[in-house]
Amino acid sequence: MKAGIIVFPGTNCDIDTEKACKYFGWETEFIWHDDTELNKYDIIFLPGGFSYGDYIRAGRLAKFSPAVMSLKDYVKTKRGFLVGICNGFQILCETKLLPGILSTNTNTKFICEEVELEVNHDGFPKSVKFAIAHGEGRYIADEQTLQGIQAKNMIFLRYKNNPNGSVLDIAGLYDKENRIIGMMPHPERGVFSETGNIDGKYFFEMLNKALTKETVAAT
Amino acid sequence: MKKYKADIIVTLKKGVRDPQGAAVDTVLKRTGIQEIAQVQTGKFFTLDVTGSDETNAKAKLDTICREVLSNPVLESYKVERFVEL
């Protein structure tokens, strides 16, 4: 199993994500944002941070980097999983790989805390606690888009006590057809007991299971 | 090739909540300077754009505004100034 983590100038959750991937025994590499060779990876992460300083808006400039532009082919050919965490989710929305957009939190503050989430996925506990750390995490989409999201059962995570004003309490989306997951919470910060939370393991176990099944089927 | 200078203002679309504008509004109200000010925040950009003629340069500017400076899902933009250099 090979995981790739795209690194932009300003990314700061790349090493946390790498440690989490390695914990699950995945061969893990960093992908510089100028690289376009993505086909060797079974899973690609867009980690948290502030890509290109989040100038103009969060995730806006990252959408023009060669690595992100190549993600469209990676998704189209259904090569593997694409996971965007925090800034990664913002990038996925900016590139329209996931619908909607993330805007400034209703309370205008950068929120850094542990939140309770409701999970909509089989084989995952119904409720988990993940860390969040963002200033622009308020999920917005128009009525038509929201209807589409619900019809496709794409809402993966919902806040129990909505901290940022997201519509329908949306904290994460999962496009099962294209295997794209985007979420504001940080599962990679909940893998090692030293962080005081190990709920993030469920997320990586979910990916591990899905990918292992695939590898077995391919051989 | 002609060169033009453009000023662009990007704001949130009507109906999209503007928490920063609301915060400034609250401050104005609290200090008693202005009761309800309907503050709206946005971003200002100034840039040079080239083109074979005005129409061509304006089309290019439009692409820059839509693809780079704003996100049509929640923002709209307005070209405030467009002058030949």
The 10s digit of each residue's pLDDT in A188-206 is 999 999 999 999 999 999 9
A155-159 sheet: strands from edge to edge:
A27-32, A2-7, A43-46, A81-85, A180-183, A170-175, A155-159, A111-119, A127-134
Instruction: List, for residues B27-69, the tens digit of each pLDDT value.
Output: 999 898 888 888 999 999 999 999 999 999 999 999 999 999 9
C-alpha to C-alpha distance for B33 and A60, rounded to whole angstroms: 36
All residues of chain B having their beta carbon less than 8 Å from the beta carbon of residue A56 are 43, 68-69
Are A106 and B71 in contact (CB < 8 Å)?
no
At residue B35, the pLDDT reads 84
All residues of chain B having their beta carbon less than 8 Å from the beta carbon of residue A106 are 17, 19
User: Which CA distances in Å does A96 have to A100, A151, A199?
Assistant: 8, 18, 29
Say yes or no to pLDDT of B25 above 80.
yes
Task: Report the CATH number at residue B65.
Answer: 3.30.1280.10
At residue A213, the pLDDT reads 77
Domain count, chain B: 1
Residue A57 forms contact with B (CB below 8 Å): yes
pTM recorded for the entire structure: 0.90
**A186 assigned to active site:** yes
Under-70 pLDDT residues of chain A: 215-219
At residue A215, the pLDDT reads 65
The answer to whether A141 touches B71, Cβ cutoff 8 Å, is: no
CATH numbers and ranges of domains, chain A = 2-218 (3.40.50.880)
ipTM of the complex: 0.75
Q: Which structural domain, as residue segments, surrounds residue B7?
A: 2-84
At residue A163, the pLDDT reads 97
Number of inter-chain CB pairs under 8 A, A vs B: 32
